[in-house]
A and B are shown apart, each in its own frame.
Chain A
C-alpha cells in the first residue's frame, strides 16, 4: 500500500457517510428490511455481510488481472458464494437461535447488490489493501444503516433495545413496526430525514455564498 494515510481514511469513510449503502445508494434493500426486526439481528447481519464483503473484495482484487473480462461477473458470484457458505456454516455452529432468526437471509447475502456492486466498481480496479479498506467502510456503513432501522423497529415494536426492556409494564408495543409495513415506513422516514438534512445544508450554503 503506497497510499498516504488521509487517502486511506477517505476510502474508509466513503462507505460510512458519503456513499452509505443503505441511506445514500439504497442498495441491498432485501436483507435491510427483512432482518431488522431487532437490534441483535441487525448487528449480526451487518457483521456477516461485512465479513463477506471484505474477504471477497480482497480476493477479487488479488485475482483482478487473472479474471477474463467476459466471465468476470460469474467469477465474482462464485467467489462471493464461497464466502457466504463459510459464514452460513459459522453462524450455524456459533448460535443456532441466531441462525433460525436470520433464516434464508444469510444465504441471500450472495445476491446482496452491495457486494457485487463493490466488486465490479471498486475491487476489480484497485490493489487488495485499498479494496479491503473500502469494503470495510462499506460494511460498517451497511451495519450502521441496519442498526438505525433495527433499533428503531425494536424500540417501537417490542419496547426493548437489544433485548432489554425500556418501558414499564403498561407499554403497548406498536406491532406494525416489526411487521413488514413497519420496515418500509421506518426506512422511508430515515430517507426523508436525510433528505431534509441535505436540503437544509444546501440552503445554508446558498445563504453563505449570497452573504459573501
Chain B
C-alpha cells in the first residue's frame, strides 16, 4: 500500500464516501437526517468516536499481532468502540445537555454504527500505518458528516414540497439517497 495521505483522505471523503458508496452507517443516515441542526452534531460526534476508535484499534492491533491473538480482534474492537461512545456520551451530557437530548437514542447507537467498526476493520485489512489510519478515519468521518448534512438539507426542503403520500417516509429517503449516491459517483477516480 503506497497511498499518500491526501489520496486516502479524498478517497474516504468523496470517491468512496462511507455512506453513499460503501453503505456504512446507514441507520443514523436515515434516522437522524431529518433536521440539519441534529445532523451536523451527530456527524461530528461520530467523527470523534471514529478517530478515538481508530487510534485505539491501531494500538490494539499491534498488540494482538504481537501475541498472535488475531481471532480476538473483532471482540476487542467492539469493546473499544463501546467504551469510546460511552466517553462521548458522558462529555456531551456534561457540556451540552440540550444536544444530548436531541440526539437521544442515536447516541448510544453509534456503537452499532457500522461506519465506526468499518474504519477499524478496513484500516487493519489494508495494513495502513499510523498516519494513514488517522487520515482514513478522519476522512471517513468527514465524509459521513458531509453525507448527513447534504441529506438533511434536501429533506428539510422536501417537507415543503408536494409528495404523493404513498411515497413518503423511508421510500422517499432511499430514493433521495440513491440520487445523492449517483452524484457522488462523479467523484470516482478522484483519489487515484
Contact = CB atoms under 8 A, between A and B. Distances in A.
Interface in B1-35: 20-27, 30
Interface stretch (B74-82, B127-135, B154-162): B74-82
B113 interface: yes
Nearest to A30: B114
B178 A185 contact: yes
B78 A85 contact: no
A27 B71 contact: no
A192 B71 CA distance: 42
Given A107-B121, A110-B117, A181-B185, A81 B74 contact: yes
Contacts of B166: 192, 195-196, 199
Contacts of B179: 181
Interface string B59-96: 00000000000010011001100100000000000000
Contacts of B102: none
Contacts of A195: 166-167, 169, 171
Q: Counting chain A CB atoms within 10 Å of each CB, which of B20, B71, B75, B82 scores highest? A: B75
Given A29-B26, A181-B181, A82 B79 contact: no
A188 interface: yes
26 contacts: A26-B170, A29-B23, A30-B25, A31-B23, A33-B23, A34-B23, A77-B79, A78-B75, A78-B78, A89-B71, A104-B121, A107-B121, A108-B121, A110-B78, A111-B111, A111-B113, A113-B112, A176-B182, A181-B181, A181-B185, A185-B175, A188-B172, A191-B169, A191-B171, A195-B167, A199-B166
List the 8 shortest-distance A-B pairs measured between CB atoms, nearest first. Answer: A184-B178, A188-B174, A29-B26, A34-B23, A191-B171, A181-B181, A181-B182, A188-B175
Given A85-B74, A104-B122, A183-B178, 8 more contacts: A78-B78, A108-B24, A116-B112, A176-B182, A180-B20, A181-B179, A185-B174, A188-B171
